[in-house]
Structure 1
Amino acid sequence: MTDYTTRRTMMVDTQVRPSDVTRFPIIDAMLSIPREDFVPDTLREAAYVGENLDIGNGRIMLEPRTLAKMLELADVQPGHVALDIGCGLGYSTAILASLCDFVVAIEDDAARAEEAQSLLSGHGIDNAAVMTGRLAAGSAKSGPFDLIMVQGAVEHLPEDLLAQLREGGRIVCLFAEAALGVVRVGHKMDGTVNWRFGFNAGAPVLDGFRRAAAFAL
């Protein structure tokens, strides 16, 4: 029988801690939440590898290092309400739910959203709700949010989504730029989101977040 507890510890010790992730609540969540339960059954043995996992239909589960560093940049706090875009089967949502007051997660695949909600409920996580809808639309009716995280790359962000961020809130995104993606954290002040560099990482661009192609005559 696979010892997933040992694999979780190795993931944190060899991928997360060496990546300058120092906040104990993040480390504790990644040590305690069973990542292998939030991947397709065929990927359970690969759940703790240090790379993005292909979960089907052009979607991935971010590698542990990338997710952990994004959470560090997010500075998520107890009392926060977070929006998790492209949650897959709910692992990122489970981690966020352990760090803040409530998480609204968005999935564009109804079956995947239903499975994610079932997995979260099965693990006793009752402060998260998975909704089906267009990823780029977010969930205006549930906002505004203290934090928005996007579980994949973006080329651009719709203004309607940025409007769902509370004044003083943060948004963490992986921008697809040339060959190497860039994770940035945006801080909303006086109605404007100001961005700063976080670190480099890679992931496929999510549906709805591609920049419109320019037409040339």
Structure 2
Amino acid sequence: MPATALRLAATALLLLAALDAAHAAASDDRADERQRLTQTVAAQMRETGSATGRPALSERVTTALRQVPRHAFVPEDQRLYAYVNRPLPIGHGQTISQPYIVALMTELAQPQPDHKVLEVGTGSGYQAAVMARLVRTVYSMEIIEPLGLAARERLQTLGYRNVEVRLGDGYHGWEEHAPYDAILVTAAASHIPPPLIRQLKPGGRMVIPVGAAFLVQQLMLVEKNADGTVSTRQILPVAFVPLTGGAR
């Protein structure tokens, strides 16, 4: 190749590299805010550790929180507050959970790289995105069609290929892919749905808020023992939107 052509090729490669770097910087322009949010969540985990049994963020969950762009999962008018440690409205009477709660529920589920997880209540897709960085596959269900369709497109656009979103009533679970190593329910039920207990693998964990809307709810850890029996433990009071669907 002539020297001029070599110089042109080298220049083109440098330009492409610069464009790639600029794109990466633009897409990660709030990394400092995620870092600060992670520190805030870690501090709250320490403060509540005696009650929850999870006094610290694991390195894997810490990394996931740092990597997932929460601002991409909230409406445009809420993006200024995306890295504040609080829930935010996402439309249709629903919310994206407080980052501390997302982290706590994720830690309680004890996700492993080979795990298959069911999420009931996709919402904007943020919890699914965090979990997707920690497990093999996430199956997520959303009963509100506009939210589910938007979350599916958002997760695909952001590259979360190991998340599958289904429109439907999560109370009944997703039998096709059961049993699950962990189940996360991101809306409050009046009781623990029996279909979800059946779809939980022996040795698996379910994290679910239980209680009536506008009253005190309890975040519950449900563990299915090897013999199929179930044990439950209250973790801490929470406030979630109600689980909607046929049976609640």
Q: Which residue of 1 aligns with 2:191?
A: 156
Shift of 1:201: 2.1
3-state DSSP of counterpart to 1:157: coil
User: What SS class does the counterpart of residue 188 from structure 2 fall into?
Assistant: strand
SS in 1 for 2:187: strand
Letter paired with 2:36: M
Higher relative strand content: 1
**Residue 161 (structure 1) shift:** 2.1
Post-superposition CA distance 1:8-65 (Å, at most 9, x none): 1111111234313321111100001100101122221121222221212221111001
| Structure 1 runs of 4+ with >6 Å offset | none
Which runs of structure 2 are paired with 1:91-106 in the superposition (5 Å)?
A: 91-106=126-141
The answer as to 2:219 corresponding to 1:183 is yes
Q: Which has the higher contact order (CA 8 A, sep 6+)?
A: 1
Q: Report the TM-score, using the length of structure 2 for normalisation.
A: 0.79
d(CA) in 2 for partners of 1:96, 1:81: 10
Whose helix proportion is higher, 1 or 2? 2
Shift of 1:144: 1.0
* CA distance in 1: counterparts of 2:234 and 2:124, whole angstroms: 28
Which amino acid is the alignment partner of residue 205 of structure 1? P
Where do residues 102-141 of structure 1 align in structure 2 (5 Å cutoff)?
102-141=137-176
1:79-117 C-alpha deviation (Å, 9 max, x unpaired): 110001101121111111111110000011223222212
- Which residue identity is paired with 2:228? G
Gaps of 5+ in 2: 1-25, 46-54
Q: Give the number of aligned pairs.
A: 211
SS at match of 1:78: coil
Kindly report the root-mean-square deviation, in angstroms, between the aligned alpha carbons of the 2 structures.
2.1
Of 95, 101, 109, which aligns to 1:60? 95
Change (3 A) 1:76 1:4: same
Structure 1-normalised TM-score? 0.89
User: Does structure 1 residue 208 correspond to structure 2 residue 245?
Assistant: yes
Moved more, 14-23 or 98-107: 14-23
Contact 1:188–1:194 (8 Å) recurs in 2: yes
Amino acid paired to 1:8 = R
Matched, 1:33 2:33: no
Q: How big is each residue's C-alpha offset from its partner over 1:166-214, in whole Å with a ceiling of 9 and x where there is no partner?
A: 1111100112268432212111012222111222322122213875xxx
Amino acid at match of 1:65: Y
